[in-house]
Structure 1
Amino acid sequence: MQRSREAAEGLKRLRAGLRFCALLGWTALQYPCLIGVTLLERLWPRAAIAPRQLTTRLWARGCLWILGVRLDVVGTPPQPPFFAAGNHLSYLDILVLHASLRGRFLAKAEVGQIPVAGHFARLAGTLFVKRERKRDLSRVRDELKEAIQGGEGVIVFPEGTSTRGAEVLPFRASLFQVAVDQNLPIAPFSLHYQVAPSAPPAHLSVCWWGEMEMMPHLLGLLMLDRISARVTFIEQRAGGSDRKSLAQSTWTQIQEHFEPSCVV
């Protein structure tokens, strides 16, 4: 019995190592494409949109396959330009949404400082914000508006942090001013993860929240046999003239479709 457990643990670690190497290799293959897109963007910004979206979608779908993630898309994904908002559970959300949508993410400035991942995120068109600085928030709103006016979709996580998936936290309303100014309907989405009954629960093995350290959590995720990810795209409703009421109505829509990833 002890030997069988040790053998199973060894196989899990081998799987994690192989997946990690495969992720690095797959990302390295896409890197020259994104460098080329970045150079093209400096010359013809609009001409670079489609190649960047195609490359990031291909990269994300490849990463999900390597990780053993089965993606279930419910509803109709919005078409650019759009303003998509939803709950935030994990760094895996980025892959799930990149595989489902053609848009640019807004992320915390700290994400841009992560070695390799931060650089790749910039090449993929991610925008970064220092939420504690109001002046920076104004700058980011202008960048989001520019992206929308250029025909792109933008994806935000209004909770302001990732959670264990027990509930949807109240939404911060500031970013919804972009949708108000551009007269865009909100495209709400809800994320949910599930793992095999024998695996550590999803709120510990997939969701990344609180004071969890990145590398130990990633190792645990790489060791999982399979992950079921579901993104539900909720019917868009007309935008409003008040960002606070718009944020609240969007939260209510998502709450109605939300299924907890945390089962305790």
Structure 2
Amino acid sequence: MQQSKAVCVIFLLTIVSLILIPLQWLAMKAGHPVQRQLPYLWHRIATRLVGIRITQKGKPATHRPLLIVANHASWVDITVLGAVMPLSFIAKSEVEGWPILGLFAKLQRTVFVNRTRRTETGAVASQIAGRMASGDAMVLFAEGTSNDGNRVLPFRSALLGAATKALENGAPVEVQPLSIVYARQHGIPLDRRTRARIAWYGDMELGGHLWGVFCNGAIDVELTWGEPVEVSPGTDRKALTARLHADVERMTITGLTGREPLDPEAGEAEVPASEATQ
């Protein structure tokens, strides 16, 4: 039964993709504003077909320019966030060459970052700043990689410089922290072990993971939006990174355990095994 469901999901997503991909390609070539809306439509359809239910605490900022800084556990994060609002992502350059996901990343108008060439960081930050100034909400997974969904890894500060660069266009810039927590599957709370069925990290094989998610579905994910931080010309990038990490970590621990960490200023990066349930 589960395999039949997965086949049906793949078939329907293929039909939807065959319709929307040419339209998105034409919209991108023409620079038409609908290029922001078509990926949003695709993700909304995908979450419905797969059975992903999204609960939001707080709201995404309506201000632009906007940089969203989030934790990262899985490729599922992309579809979840893409179904909430029109936005684009910042991803490592390797993603561009991945089968299927690479194509969809390009059609999402992703900005790719080569992490091995630090000399290009300034140019990439300028590109991101330009996109933000044009009205695009950009998502940065600041850990620089995905993990098992039970913790928040240290944030990298380099690309947060894009927020400062966007100030050069004259408009105030906001950076908003966001926590993504996979809470339940088929209504059953996930723990440290079962949450890893949804997380995609390390050397996990993509095809098998896609198939597993399509077969099982019925995922409840909680998004917690923190208070936006307004960036000024004097904002210290590393201090901003530390603040955003603390906010995302605190919200993630709360989402995983159901309660605030004892010391919000210095919460444990990894949630104890006995508490990592929703």
TM-score over 0.5 (shorter chain): yes
Question: Counterpart in 1 of 2:243?
Answer: 249
Tell me if 1:136 matches 2:146: no
The one-letter amino acid of 2:229's match is R
Cα deviation for residue 202 of structure 1 reads: 4.4
Question: Counterpart in 1 of 2:260?
Answer: none
Tell me if 1:213 matches 2:194: no
Q: Give the whole-Å Cα distance in 1 for the aligned partners of 2:189 and 2:88.
A: 36
Which blocks of at least 5 consecutive residues in structure 2 are unaligned? 168-172, 258-272
- In the alignment, which of 132, 155, 158 is matched to residue 174 of structure 1? 158
Q: Give the whole-Å Cα distance in 1 for the aligned partners of 2:35 and 2:106.
A: 11
Q: Give the whole-Å Cα distance in 2 for the aligned partners of 1:256 and 1:137.
A: 29
Superposition pairs for residues 64-79 of structure 1, below 5 Å?
64-79=47-62
Question: Counterpart in 1 of 2:179?
Answer: 190
Secondary structure, aligned partner of 1:221: helix
Question: Counterpart in 1 of 2:42?
Answer: 59
Tell me if 1:39 matches 2:22: no
> Which of the two has greater helix per residue?
1
Q: Summarize the Cα distance change of 1:199–1:236 in structure 2 as closer, same or farther, 3 Å threshold.
A: closer
Q: Percent identity?
A: 27
Number of matched pairs: 247
Residue by residue, what CA displacement relative to the aligned partner does 1:206-229 show, whole Å, maximum 9, x if unpaired?
110122111111111111141111
The one-letter amino acid of 2:35's match is R
Task: Give the root-mean-square deviation of aligned CA atoms.
Answer: 2.0
Secondary structure, aligned partner of 1:59: helix
Residue by residue, what CA displacement relative to the aligned partner does 1:137-183 show, whole Å, maximum 9, x if unpaired?
22211110110121222110010001111211110000111112334
Q: Are the aligned partners of 2:126 and 2:166 in contact in 1 as well (CA < 8 Å)?
A: no
Q: Give the whole-Å Cα distance in 1 for the aligned partners of 2:103 and 2:123.
A: 20
Q: Give the whole-Å Cα distance in 2 for the aligned partners of 1:207 and 1:225.
A: 13
Secondary structure, aligned partner of 2:180: strand
The one-letter amino acid of 1:243's match is R
Tell me if 1:96 matches 2:88: no
What's the TM-score once normalised by structure 2's chain length?
0.83
Secondary structure, aligned partner of 2:37: helix
Question: Counterpart in 1 of 2:91?
Answer: 107
Which shifted more, 144-153 or 116-125?
116-125
Cα deviation for residue 36 of structure 1 reads: 1.5
Cα deviation for residue 199 of structure 1 reads: 8.7
Question: Counterpart in 2 of 1:122?
Answer: 106
The one-letter amino acid of 2:24's match is L
Which shifted more, 155-164 or 173-182?
173-182
What's the TM-score once normalised by structure 1's chain length?
0.87
Cα deviation for residue 189 of structure 1 reads: 0.5
Question: Counterpart in 1 of 2:231?
Answer: 239
Q: Are the aligned partners of 1:167 and 1:260 in contact in 2 as well (CA < 8 Å)?
A: no
The one-letter amino acid of 1:145's match is A
Q: Summarize the Cα distance change of 1:135–1:223 in structure 2 as closer, same or farther, 3 Å threshold.
A: same
Question: Counterpart in 1 of 2:256?
Answer: 260
Question: Counterpart in 1 of 2:9?
Answer: 19
Q: Give the whole-Å Cα distance in 2 for the aligned partners of 1:28 and 1:126.
A: 20
Which blocks of at least 5 consecutive residues in structure 1 are unaligned? 1-10, 42-47
Secondary structure, aligned partner of 2:147: coil
